[in-house]
């Protein structure tokens, strides 16, 4: 599948119906998701492998991994509302994905590759840290999205855990006006996607 085709398929993924600000439930843009997953695919980290999506939300990365021929895809999220939408999204794409209700800290099954867009820590400081810690225990390969200004922290964190960031790419991430504390119709922030081994 070409990257543009993947992006077009992901454009139809339904967003959160009632997003929770405390969990920073923002949709991963289809363009960004397709780019990251295509990179993972080119690196041999998707096709035929078990891929796990931690904090899967409505299934953007999970469905994208399935569309890129992952052998098995498992998603975990703490929100039943999000998982209900994820299941609808997967069915619409004909995707066979196991979506599970769980705090990511309680996940104990491993995977070949973990993909995730964890909370950035804007509402609760260091909210992405438990995701990083868990991902590194579950897989030898992780693709994750973080605020661009935390790249140094992510690299140091990985090094302390005997791992390293082998790839990273910066994106402009448009956050729409979803919550009462948002003062603009949309806010653009810089985020960085990282590949970790």
Tens of pLDDT, residue by residue over 69-107, are 999 999 999 999 999 999 999 999 999 999 999 999 999
Taking residues 9-15, what's their average pLDDT? 97
pLDDT at 45: 98
Full set of structural domains in the chain with CATH: 3-10+28-196 (3.40.50.150)
Q: pTM of the entire structure?
A: 0.94
In the beta sheet, which residues pair with residue 191?
147, 171
Question: Among 3-12, 148-157, 183-192, where is mean pLDDT lowest?
Answer: 183-192
Alpha carbon distance 70, 49 (integer Å): 5
Please count the other Cβ atoms lying within 10 Å of the Cβ belonging to residue 27.
18
What is the pLDDT at residue 178?
60
């Amino acid at each position: 599948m070409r990257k543009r085709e993947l992006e077009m398929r992901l454009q139809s993924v339904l967003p959160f119906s009632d997003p929770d600000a405390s969990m920073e439930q923002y949709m991963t843009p289809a363009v960004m998701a397709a780019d990251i997953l295509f990179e993972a695919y080119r690196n041999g980290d998707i096709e035929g492998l078990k891929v796990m999506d931690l904090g899967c939300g409505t299934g953007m990365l999970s469905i994208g991994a399935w569309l890129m021929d992952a052998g098995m895809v498992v998603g975990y999220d703490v929100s039943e509302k999000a998982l209900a939408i994820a299941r609808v999204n997967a069915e619409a794409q004909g995707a066979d994905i196991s979506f599970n209700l769980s705090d990511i800290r309680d996940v104990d099954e491993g995977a070949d590759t973990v993909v995730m867009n964890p909370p950035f820590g804007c509402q609760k400081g260091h909210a992405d840290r438990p995701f990083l810690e868990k991902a590194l225990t579950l897989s030898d390969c992780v693709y994750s999205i973080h605020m661009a200004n935390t790249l140094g922290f992510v690299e140091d964190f990985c090094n302390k855990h005997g791992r390293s960031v082998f790839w990273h790419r910066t994106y402009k991430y448009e956050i729409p006006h979803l919550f009462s504390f948002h003062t603009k119709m949309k806010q653009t922030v810089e985020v960085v996607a990282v590949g970790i081994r």
